[in-house]
Structure 1
Amino acid sequence: MIGTVEDLLRALTPQVLGALVRRYGHFDTAEDAVQEALLAAAQQWPVDGVPDNPRGWLIKVASRRLTDLLRREQARQRREERVAAWAPQGEPVGDADDTLVLLFLCCHPALSPASQIALTLRAVGGLTTAEIARAFLVPEATMTRRITRAKTAVQDSGARFTLPADREERLGAVLKVVYLIFNEGYTSTTGPSLQRVELAAEGIRLARMLHRLLPNDSEVAGLLALLLLTDARRPARTGPHGELVPMAEQDRSLWIPELIREGVDLITATLPKGPVGPYQLQAAIAAVHDESKSAAETDWPQIVALYEVLLQLTDNPMVALNHVVAVAMARGPEAGLTLLQEIEHDSRIADDHRLFAVRGHLLEMSGDTLGARTAYEAAAARTTSVPQQRYLHRRVANLAGVSADRSGGSARD
């Protein structure tokens, strides 16, 4: 149940924008017109009340504004005649179809992943340019240019407002964009905070929307389950001062049971339907973690087996790195270090802070204090996330204290 005008407008944004683009084209100008209609609604509806047909009201206001904007921009008579002669592009379709088409349009292959994310947040998520810029810690002017270039690229590509012929292939890009939006919110790659809750919530909202639109797609269900099961741990991931708390040390009573139940139910119902894809497997791994009563009771052999199936489906160095950790937990640090040697020269991950952090963790497990300190220091030097830097420096300090204890020096604080 939509409870506020703001919630209602956010839910209607992709429907209204989809309707305008489908009818008239001109993605860039249509998006501006919709934003002005949303602003008018935000000002009028709290005073006058929500109209009986809020979607129709927004489409009508946005259509009028679109015509005004186009006429202003098109000074020559020839272009004005084109505006007057415009006809809808194709037969009318449902609101859900409009939203789905808009998602595919935002993930057009002509766009870079960064532009796909920005355009999706703007057009489907309903976020303002300023909000998106803040989420990715770039100036608003920079984000404005990125979104403008993205909309221009889509229009220049000649894309029509209809489901693309390569929609099965492009669905993978749509899922990846939603996952990246969530992941940037769950573990921020830069800045002072470990998490950006509003961005993670937007990723989940988009995943829920996709699941409503494509209820029979197993990978869509798998993605939603993965995000829910991952987000369930959010309250326990940071300490009172925003410091990072690794999963093994988290207070699991703080995990969100409603999200765990929903995610487990979803992946349990989805897996038997097949075929099994990467998001379903990652959700199954997350479910094993979330259903474990403690870190010590985690079924690491099952997680190893799931990662080995996942590695057969995807050439992803981060999956390989997570597999290393699982093997180390199931079979001991030496087994993990042996596997790590096989992937550490992969150019896609060779300079990633997570590779060095895992090496430090495994060396610490094996008792190599000096090697672990060196690896943690290298990881801290490579991450741009302040909470992760602080966590890694704490690991170094703790190990320095251990070394001092063993050599007869002063004890740790």
Structure 2
Amino acid sequence: MTPTALGDLLRDLAPQVLGAVVRRYRDFDSAEDAVQEALLAAARQWPADGLPEHPRAWLIQVASRRLINIWRADDARRRREETAVSLDPRDVAGAADQPDTGRDDSLRLLFLCCHPALTAPSAIALTLRAVGGLSTTEIAHAFLVPEATMAQRISRAKQRIHAAGAAFTMPGPDEWRGRLDSVRHVLYLIFNEGYASSSGDDLVRADLSHEAIRLVRTLHRLLPDDTETAGLLALMLLTDARRDARTGPHGELVPLPAQDRSRWDGKLIAEGVALISATLRRHAVGPYQLQAAVAAVHDEAARAEDTDWPQILALYGVLERLQDNPMVTLNRAVALAMVDGPAAGLALLDSVEQRLPGHHRVAAVRGHLLEMSGDLPAAAAAFDQAIRATTSTAEQRYLATHLATLHTRATPP
């Protein structure tokens, strides 16, 4: 087995193993550490010894034994005793050698990691580690923070879950929808950070976007009839299909109209279009489905000038009624400008600026719309504001290059 295939297998098994161990021992904090040790042991032993006949059962057994060792070595005796008392004695006696039932607890684990007691950054970090199987080092590298900082964030997240008294159970009917919305939102944030990094030198972090897609595929497999989960998966596929064309040979940002569409991934587009087409016919439409429909319209246009902007404008209009989000209005302003002209888009943009003062994307859109209207000096001022506001090095370079071109156009020969 190649290192890549082994890594993929371990990441697929990580949430299943952790879920099984948490269900058996009811100690998320220690179980998570024990499973990470089991995954590291597998990464070392399996290449040399060969893949075990039942990899999941092997990991559960090793993690269970590591967990028992953690308990034995733990200085917090009271916690260990309280945990032992709460367990059925039959669960503890020989638990490490119990057979693997094959039960998949991934969905419960996702709900636990996206608990309402956690902030979005904490939920993202914990989800990537517990459900994604990424190491603390990998997560810290992805978010450009020191490993110690990320370790503290994950530790605090587990402490908050423990303090909140969260149980490893599915939420009841009253809180199901809100918890599922939180899970989808966390996965959406992970994808966005991978597809369009908010800081640092790299525009794209493919490892994060790939992991988000893998996790949403898992969620969709577990909840095949949930149309918003299907919509989120379609959105990710249709967006990620353009990833290779979003950067030039030196890593520079290439905007959508200038992208070489022959570099788009046709298989991902076909899968995403089929998924959203089937989903839209089934039930009431939700925000992720509408965003996926917008992405599909872009992806199905052979050239930028073939884009069906009236359809995109209509979709954003529906989305805005469902979701009072200034970023949605910002995108609708762009679509409105493409349909009715830049003046209409700029008028709508004024209302967005009141809700997102100083946001670099508002300034960048204003610059593009002013450029469309022919007001190059005002466009240059807006682009300069966007450069100063963004924390993404790739976006800064793109905007600076575009601003230099704009100055050249504005300067008489």
Per the TM superposition, whether the score is higher than 0.5 is yes
1:234 is aligned to 243
CA distance in 2 between counterparts of 1:17 and 1:288 reads 40
Tell me, yes or no, if structure 1 residue 302 matches structure 2 residue 311: yes
Give the superposition deviation at 1:47.
2.0
What SS does the aligned partner of 1:164 have?
coil
CA distance in 2 between counterparts of 1:93 and 1:214 reads 23
How many residue pairs end up in the alignment?
402
CA distance in 1 between counterparts of 2:167 and 2:177 reads 17
Structure-1-length-normalised TM-score: 0.94
1:25 is aligned to 26
Seen in structure 2, the aligned counterparts of structure 1 residues 225 and 403 have a Cα distance that, compared at 3 Å, is same
Give the superposition deviation at 1:330.
1.1
Tell me, yes or no, if structure 1 residue 380 matches structure 2 residue 407: no
Quick check: 1:104–1:167 contact (8 Å CA) kept in 2?
Answer: no
1:12 is aligned to 13
1:206 is aligned to 215
Q: Which amino acid aligns with 2:401?
A: R
Seen in structure 2, the aligned counterparts of structure 1 residues 82 and 228 have a Cα distance that, compared at 3 Å, is closer
1:411 is aligned to none
Runs of at least 5 residues in structure 2 that lack an aligned partner in the other structure: 93-98
Quick check: 1:21–1:161 contact (8 Å CA) kept in 2?
Answer: yes
Structure-2-length-normalised TM-score: 0.94
Q: Which amino acid aligns with 1:115?
A: S
Q: 1:323 aligns with which of 332, 336, 339?
A: 332
CA distance in 1 between counterparts of 2:369 and 2:337 reads 7
1:153 is aligned to 160
Q: Which amino acid aligns with 1:199?
A: L
2:399 is aligned to 392
Quick check: 2:242–2:265 contact (8 Å CA) kept in 1?
Answer: yes
Quick check: 1:373–1:395 contact (8 Å CA) kept in 2?
Answer: no
Quick check: 1:110–1:157 contact (8 Å CA) kept in 2?
Answer: yes
Quick check: 2:334–2:345 contact (8 Å CA) kept in 1?
Answer: yes
2:42 is aligned to 41
Tell me, yes or no, if structure 1 residue 106 matches structure 2 residue 113: yes
Give the superposition deviation at 1:82.
4.7
CA distance in 1 between counterparts of 2:292 and 2:83 reads 50
Tell me, yes or no, if structure 1 residue 249 matches structure 2 residue 258: yes
Q: RMSD of the alignment, in Å?
A: 2.0
Tell me, yes or no, if structure 1 residue 366 matches structure 2 residue 367: no
Q: 1:141 aligns with which of 144, 148, 155?
A: 148
Tell me, yes or no, if structure 1 residue 130 matches structure 2 residue 137: yes
Quick check: 2:120–2:186 contact (8 Å CA) kept in 1?
Answer: yes
CA distance in 1 between counterparts of 2:158 and 2:167 reads 13
- Percent of aligned pairs with the same amino acid: 61
Tell me, yes or no, if structure 1 residue 342 matches structure 2 residue 343: no
What is the 5 A alignment of 1:261-300? 261-300=270-309
Quick check: 2:245–2:263 contact (8 Å CA) kept in 1?
Answer: yes
Give the superposition deviation at 1:311.
0.4
What SS does the aligned partner of 1:159 have?
coil
1:178 is aligned to 187
CA distance in 2 between counterparts of 1:402 and 1:56 reads 66
What SS does the aligned partner of 1:193 have?
coil
Seen in structure 2, the aligned counterparts of structure 1 residues 31 and 78 have a Cα distance that, compared at 3 Å, is closer
Seen in structure 2, the aligned counterparts of structure 1 residues 184 and 96 have a Cα distance that, compared at 3 Å, is farther
What SS does the aligned partner of 2:362 have?
helix
Give the superposition deviation at 1:282.
0.3
CA distance in 1 between counterparts of 2:78 and 2:128 reads 36
Seen in structure 2, the aligned counterparts of structure 1 residues 255 and 76 have a Cα distance that, compared at 3 Å, is closer
2:95 is aligned to none
